[in-house]
Amino acid sequence: MSFIPVNEPLLNGNEKKYLNDCIDTGWISSEGPYVTKFEEQFAAKMGRKLGIAVCNGSVAIDAAVLALGIGKGDEVIMPTFTIISCAAAIIRAGATPVLVDAHPLTWNMDINQIENKITKKTRAIMVVHIYGLPVDMDPVLELAKKYNLYIIEDAAEMHGQTYKGKPCGSFGDISTFSFYPNKHITTGEGGMIVTNNELLAEKCRSLRNLCFIPSKRFVHYELGFNFRMTNLQAAVGLAQLERLDEFVVKKRKMGERYTSLLKDINNISIPIGRTSYAENIYWVYGLLLKPETGLDAERAMAKLGQEKIATRPFFWNIHEQPVFNKMGLFKNEKYPIAEDMARMGFYLPSGLALTDEQIDIVAEKFKKILQQ
Ligand SMILES: Cc1ncc(COP(=O)(O)O)c(C=O)c1O
């Protein structure tokens, strides 16, 4: 049996044609026309006025936090169960992440824990839609209004998903996406910031481009970064965007197939298919093992690896990150739901190129491993 990768993208649309166009015209840097086209079309698809393409989804969050002017003395409420990029951006800006636990069914931040964490220092709530279901946004938006807080929306995993029919990525004062190859659409490496606020967009454009000023080249009044996306990446992105709706349908079918094959196993939790506000998009097909399996994520993944099936562990929680603990952050903080998820959770092969046959093999091998 051949190896089943955890993720393989589909690049069989207009990607080659648009890339050839970049090469034929010589436009390969960030100055090329595909960047603007991709920004405009992506933002429109996400229900936003403005898009700022950057070189990955992590720096998109850095730019978002800085553009909002969040810094020393400020607090930002966010989930502990997420990728390090979310907390890193807050800490690098000089602010403090304030964490909440995960919800056991949706795996997103438990929105009922947010209000208790709001202090005089709170400036923003960073919502992160995790793995397939969006955060229940309405109550979060109400809190933001009540306490006058910004919403930073990390929609890195959520292209094409909706909350009550509205696109994910349309809820933040500023929202961000990633285009890493495991995402619904990819540019190899890449990210996007979207917003309706021209001032924030301008700040992000400036931060992305070393804070150059048009009137006097190479004179800088502020410090920025080179976060630019190349025309080559944007060309791939545009071709991918053309197929987003199709990819979303495919992902949902893949998730439903896994669910139909795994739903009768007692000792695991599988993703819930829908909530009152969204249908799961199954960015990745995650699983939580129960202790009765006698396995944890690490052992189950090793066993699947022996069967040539690649998997990935769930996120390691922000409050348990050695790098932050070394800084004296999150000492003695406990988030039991997320702690269990980090140890017992992992995801199965979930890339867009995965076939039905491969899904069937993965499910069969996994069931056998649980019976051992
Ligand atoms: C929720 C979330 N935020 C941010 C990122 C960072 O994106 P990138 O890998 O493009 O830096 C990821 C990446 O997978 C993610 O899952």
93-130 pLDDT tens trace:
999 999 999 999 999 999 999 999 999 999 999 999 99
Q: Which pLDDT belongs to residue 283?
A: 97
Instruction: Identify the band that residue 139 occupies on the pLDDT scale cut at 50, 70 and 90.
Output: very high
pLDDT classification of 196: cutoffs 50, 70, 90: very high
Alpha carbon separation from 55 to 27, 133, 188, 191, 321 (Å, rounded): 17, 25, 10, 6, 25
Q: Is 156 a pocket residue for ligand 1 (Cβ < 6 Å)?
A: yes
The beta strands (E) that lie in the chain are given as: 50-54, 75-79, 96-100, 122-128, 150-154, 162-163, 166-167, 174-178, 191-195, 268-269, 285-289, 312-313, 345-348
Q: What is the pTM of this model?
A: 0.98
What was the pLDDT predicted at 372?
A: 84
Pairing of strands 50-54, 191-195: antiparallel
Q: Whole-angstrom Cα distance, residue 227 to residue 61?
A: 11
Burial class (CB in 10 A: 0-12, 13-18, 19+), 192: buried
Q: Is the pLDDT of residue 156 over 70?
A: yes
CA of 85 to the centre of ligand 1 (A): 7
Check if 350 has its Cβ closer than 6 Å to any atom of ligand 1.
no
The finding on whether 180 has its CB within 6 A of some atom of ligand 1 is yes
What pLDDT digit, counting tens, does each position of 31-61 carry?
A: 999 999 999 999 999 999 999 999 999 999 9
Residue whose structure tokens are 């791939």: 236
Measured by CA distance, the residue closest to atom 2 of ligand 1 is 156
Distance in Å from the first CA to the final CA of the chain: 20
pLDDT of residue 278 exceeding 70? yes
What is the CA(54)–ligand 1 centre distance, in A?
A: 13
Is the minimum distance from the CB of 230 to ligand 1 under 6 angstroms?
no
How close is the Cα of 84 to the center of ligand 1, in Å?
9
| Average pLDDT for the chain | 97
Minimal-distance CA residue to ligand 1 atom 15: 156
Of the chain, the percentage scoring pLDDT greater than 90 comes to 99
With 70 as the cut, is the pLDDT of residue 1 above it? no
Radius of gyration of the chain from its Cα atoms, rounded to whole angstroms: 21
The rounded Å distance from CA 25 to ligand 1 centre is 31
Q: How far is the CA of 214 from the centre of ligand 1 (A)?
A: 31
Pocket test for ligand 1, best of 58, 82, 284 (most atoms within 8 A of CB): 58
Contact 178, 157 (CB under 8 A): yes
Residue 335 pLDDT > 70: yes
Do the Cβ atoms of 314 and 341 come closer than 8 Å? yes
Contact (Cβ atoms closer than 8 angstroms) between residue 34 and residue 22: yes
Q: Higher pLDDT residue, 153 or 1?
A: 153
- Separation of 57 CA from ligand 1 center, angstroms? 5
Residue nearest to atom 12 of ligand 1 (CA): 156
